[in-house]
Chain A
Amino acid sequence: MIRAAIAVLFAVLAVPAHAIDIQAVTSPGGVKAWLVQDDSIPFVAVEFAFRGGASLDAPGKRGAINLMTGTLEEGAGSRDSVAFAQAVEDLGAQFSFDVGDDSLSVGMRALSENRDEAAALLAEALTQPRFDDAAVERVRAQVQSIIRSEETDPQAIAAKEMSRQAWGDHPYATSINGTLDSVAALTRQDLVAAKNRVLARDRVVVGAAGDISPEELGLLLDKVLGGLPEQGTAPLPEPADLQLTGGVTVVDWDSPQTVVSFAGPGLPIDDPDYFAAYVANHILGGGGFSSRLMEEIREKRGLTYGVGTTLATGVYGQTWQGGMAGSNATTGQAVDLIKAEWDRMAEGVTDRELTDAKTYLTGEYPLRFDGNGKIAGILAGMQLIGFPIDYINTRNAKVEAVTADDVKRVAGRLLDADGLRFVLVGRPEGIEATDTPEAAEVVN
């Protein structure tokens, strides 16, 4: 689902105290960044994240920011697509350009020996992208191909239908890729406008890790970002109102399995109950092989290869959601089991479950910080969410403080199987759709 990426991001951040020394760096030009300096390997990883992401698409221009992002690396300054890519390869540098609902992220890995040249190239991509006609047409065709692929992918169909029902007229309700029609209509001017909406210094956060000093990072920040506008032309997105209702939607799809997607209300990361929900989710369906749902549906009955849940804590809207795939013949049984476990959480959890969940959630931290690339991404993610720089030192205590009563309370507040929406893509048996007819108007 579209929100899932954000949940993963937060899982990355769910870490307790650990001896990682984060330095706050401000460049001579005033750009702020967080840095973990480590010179043991001669390269640096830097992650630039711009708030708002594809949710800043202008009305009627859905897909513009995604297409723009995909075309940033297709030529800049004096170099066309091929020349630009060759210049990056000549340095042994690696750039990545990705966009999601909440942010547009640009990643860079550069060798210490030619870091400045790599930074200069990245600056060109961000500030002087050419958006040549041939490049735009090529990337447009690729995006349209992806859109067509998603139309025949049951996972994507389920995610799209759930988002449509969940988010009303907020950008979250539709795919960041846009539609075949909206993408077909985008012009070069739309891409320039899209870039100006999102790529600006007033909405960027930066994480860096590796072989670079704070002073050197400051110079790099100004080199890469100095040519960007001070302010984006679009205000940051508004929060979205969750509009999901309980019930079952069936999307007919000829396949031996049904893809089961389910979602209900979630909560933001700054909610006082957030950590209680985080522990509850681990016990319910977040904990891999040890969760209640995996035990009931996979381990005991063999009805699926995998089932899981996640707190999808998007910046602008949140759900508590999950998914699985299983045989059409047993879909009804699986949905009944999901609903039963969803409700049973409000009856409370055992001391053993609570202890194991907390041990896991507080113990997983060192697994997340073993590499410059990962650390740079985590530092950028923390800033996107708005965490303080000492968050890593305080987070563990918040997990430890969660009590069985807290888990029970938050489950009672949020986990109600009657309010859970199921989207089933397949030919499910043993279960009926409950939708009102207007939902049937929307296809694809």
Chain B
Amino acid sequence: MHRPALPALLALTLGAAPALAQTAAEMPEGITHFTLPNGLETVVIEDHRAPVVVQMVWYKIGSADEQPGKSGIAHYLEHLMFKGTEKLEPGELSKTVTANGGMDNAFTSYDYTAYFQRIASDRLPLVMEMEADRMANLRIGEDDWQAERQVVLEERAQRVDSDPASLFAEERNATLFYNHPYGRPVIGWRAEMEGLTRDDALAWYDDHYSPNEAILILAGDVTPEKARELAERYYGPIPAKGEAEPRLRPQEPTQRSPRRMEMTDPRVPQPVMTRSYVAPERDPGDQKDAAALTVLAELLGGSMQTSVLGRELAMKGKALWVNAGYDGFSVDPTSFGISLVPADGMAPEEAEAELDRVLARFLETGPDPADLDRVKTQIEAARVYTLDSAHGRAYDYGQGLATGLSVQDVNDWPDILAAVTAEDVMAVARDVLGSKATVTGWLLPPPAAETADTPPAATPTPEVQG
């Protein structure tokens, strides 16, 4: 129980065709793909076990596309997308979804902004009509934009400013990516968020929200024929806006200096180390390295009991927790991360030295064949378990297409993962773990707290006021 859930590996998608037999035209069972004349790319994922459907609209625009000084505008606009259209009052979309027994929400990341509803399948036309409406007809009232700016500032206060680990992660990203906009927080820097206006939001919307820069995913109890009919009816009339622009962001230069950072905060209960490396992403037609990195993360830190770091550090009493993580859904080079909480009584530098020793040995010896076999077994099992959630599969296609992959790339992924060899893993391990493009960070409690079951004097002990 006391371990993080298995990461990226479980986010697999169905790959029905054997690798060798696969052709560009073949689609996994239940997956359909088409593009409307206005450029709206649509993926249908059928699952008729329950009368539920998920609609997701993904815009290929995120915080990494923002201009310097306007950080947070992608996310702020996401909030304002609930403020109504010519037909819908502010908040009416969500209220209508809820009153029809559904739920809705939205999220923003570096590379995309997405909106979704989950609802009984006979209500699909209703949510498609409303989602299409706000793709073209957003209205932001004079009264609404300032209160909503307060909401996103409170969101930042709750999620980031109140949490030292989040504050630290924000600075770590800024250090790892010092030229690429992945170094800016998605939610935005507070001072810049405070200056965002309704005009900024509308300009962002006008520039980037259009069918030819969006992806529609319909997952669940819907047939491809019905999906196409509804997509044509509701989204078809929306005109494309110009040509979709290539996403050319400032890239990281060659990084030559491994960086270290340290932050101390009285709200930190125990030392935590993170090491982040710049790493390649999944690219169209070229996902082999990303697959090898996915397997590498699993081999190194996927399980507290059986992974390399788990066995060598956690099971030997040197760390309370270890983890390795990688997610290849990214437009530009992304990060590979390792984290570690030292065992009680183990000094941070000692724990880090142990980690380095284990990584160095792994780079010499490579993966244990039995370890690799087990990871492959789980990859195969995940092909089955993944089918249990149409909603989860919708995320795979949405993230993939929003970060520049094709449907075929997403379809191919499980087979590419399954084909990863020990040599593939070692090649990416040498490249990434040996890279200078890395940041090692320690988030620490105040000095007195490092040993201690007793609360240190410097920690603000909670005090109940009478």
Contact mask for chain A residues 24-37; partner B; CB cutoff 8 A; 1 contact, 0 none: 00000000000000
What are the residues of chain A within 8 A of B155 when measuring CB–CB? 305
What are the residues of chain A within 8 A of B303 when measuring CB–CB? 85, 89
Q: Among A111, A301, A370, A440, which residue has its beta carbon within 8 angstroms of that of B220?
A: A370
- Contact indicator A152/B306 (Cβ below 8 Å): no
B387 within 8 A of A: yes
A40 within 8 A of B: yes
- Contact indicator A97/B101 (Cβ below 8 Å): no
Chain B residue nearest to A73 (CB atoms) is B1
- Contact indicator A149/B49 (Cβ below 8 Å): no
- Contact indicator A86/B150 (Cβ below 8 Å): no
B434 within 8 A of A: no
Chain A residue nearest to B377 (CB atoms) is A92
- Contact indicator B377/A370 (Cβ below 8 Å): no
B137 to chain A, nearest CB (A): 20
What are the residues of chain B within 8 A of A111 when measuring CB–CB? 381, 384
What are the residues of chain A within 8 A of B136 when measuring CB–CB? none
What are the residues of chain B within 8 A of A40 when measuring CB–CB? 49
- Contact indicator B149/A302 (Cβ below 8 Å): yes
- Contact indicator A359/B453 (Cβ below 8 Å): no
- Contact indicator A92/B381 (Cβ below 8 Å): yes
Residues of chain A in range 298-346 having any CB-CB distance to chain B below 8 Å: 298-305, 325-327
Bound Cα distance A355, B98 (Å): 11
What are the residues of chain B within 8 A of A371 when measuring CB–CB? 49-50, 388-389
B291 within 8 A of A: no
What are the residues of chain B within 8 A of A146 when measuring CB–CB? 2
**Of A2-10, A386-394, A430-438, which binds chain B?**
A430-438
A69 within 8 A of B: yes
We find that the number of chain B residues with CB closer than 8 angstroms to chain A is: 78
Q: Among A142, A254, A302, A326, which residue has its beta carbon within 8 angstroms of that of B147?
A: A302
Residues of chain B in range 54-113 having any CB-CB distance to chain A below 8 Å: 82, 90-91, 94-95, 98-103
Q: Which of A74, A145, A152, A425 has the most CB of B within 10 A?
A: A152
What are the residues of chain A within 8 A of B49 when measuring CB–CB? 38, 40, 370-371
Chain B residue nearest to A158 (CB atoms) is B462
A88 to chain B, nearest CB (A): 9
Q: Among A141, A327, A361, which residue has its beta carbon within 8 angstroms of that of B157?
A: A327
A403 within 8 A of B: no
Residues of chain B in range 223-269 having any CB-CB distance to chain A below 8 Å: 266-269
A98 within 8 A of B: yes
- Contact indicator B305/A145 (Cβ below 8 Å): no
Bound Cα distance A113, B311 (Å): 29
Residues of chain A in range 355-388 having any CB-CB distance to chain B below 8 Å: 355-356, 359-367, 369-373
Contact mask for chain B residues 113-134; partner A; CB cutoff 8 A; 1 contact, 0 none: 0000011110000000000000
Residues of chain A in range 224-266 having any CB-CB distance to chain B below 8 Å: 249-257
Q: Among B146, B266, B377, B463, which residue has its beta carbon within 8 angstroms of that of A443?
A: B463
Contact mask for chain B residues 139-166; partner A; CB cutoff 8 A; 1 contact, 0 none: 0000000111111111101110110000
Chain B residue nearest to A165 (CB atoms) is B464
What are the residues of chain A within 8 A of B344 when measuring CB–CB? 141, 144-145
What are the residues of chain B within 8 A of A73 when measuring CB–CB? 1
A288 within 8 A of B: yes
Q: Among A89, A362, A370, which residue has its beta carbon within 8 angstroms of that of B378?
A: A89
B270 within 8 A of A: yes
- Contact indicator A256/B306 (Cβ below 8 Å): no
- Contact indicator A366/B99 (Cβ below 8 Å): no
Chain A residue nearest to B152 (CB atoms) is A305
- Contact indicator A148/B266 (Cβ below 8 Å): no
Bound Cα distance A437, B103 (Å): 45
Q: Among B91, B99, B152, B460, which residue has its beta carbon within 8 angstroms of that of A253?
A: B460
Bound Cα distance A439, B159 (Å): 30
B47 within 8 A of A: yes
B52 within 8 A of A: yes
Residues of chain B in range 435-466 having any CB-CB distance to chain A below 8 Å: 453, 455, 459-466
Q: A143-B2, A152-B269 are in contact. Are A366 and B50 (CB under 8 A)?
A: yes
**Of B206-214, B312-320, B327-335, B422-430, which binds chain A?**
B312-320
Bound Cα distance A344, B323 (Å): 49
B39 to chain A, nearest CB (A): 31
What are the residues of chain B within 8 A of A287 when measuring CB–CB? 98
Q: Among B2, B118, B377, B388, which residue has its beta carbon within 8 angstroms of that of A367?
A: B118
Q: Among B147, B381, B455, which residue has its beta carbon within 8 angstroms of that of A151?
A: B455
- Contact indicator A289/B95 (Cβ below 8 Å): yes
Bound Cα distance A151, B449 (Å): 13
B354 within 8 A of A: no
Q: A253-B460, A359-B101 are in contact. Are A435 and B150 (CB under 8 A)?
A: no
Residues of chain B in range 378-432 having any CB-CB distance to chain A below 8 Å: 378, 380-381, 384-385, 387-391
What are the residues of chain B within 8 A of A419 when measuring CB–CB? none
Q: Among A45, A85, A290, A433, which residue has its beta carbon within 8 angstroms of that of B95?
A: A290
What are the residues of chain B within 8 A of A301 when measuring CB–CB? 147, 150
A37 to chain B, nearest CB (A): 12
Q: CB within 8 Å of B: which residues of A?
A: 38, 40-43, 45, 69-70, 73-74, 81-82, 84-86, 89-94, 96-98, 109, 111, 134, 137-139, 141-146, 148-149, 151-152, 154, 157, 161, 180, 184, 249-257, 287-290, 295, 298-305, 325-327, 355-356, 359-367, 369-373, 425, 433, 435-437, 439-440, 442-444
Q: Give 6 new A-B contacts, CB below 8 A, not counting A94-B385, A325-B158.
A: A90-B374, A180-B453, A254-B460, A290-B95, A290-B98, A302-B154
The 5 closest A-B pairs by CB, nearest first: A363-B101, A302-B150, A92-B381, A85-B305, A302-B147
Q: What are 24 A-B residue pairs whose CB atoms fall within 8 Å in the complex?
A: A70-B2, A82-B311, A82-B315, A84-B305, A86-B370, A89-B378, A92-B380, A97-B1, A134-B315, A144-B344, A144-B453, A180-B453, A252-B463, A257-B162, A300-B147, A302-B150, A305-B159, A326-B154, A363-B100, A364-B103, A371-B389, A373-B389, A444-B455, A444-B461
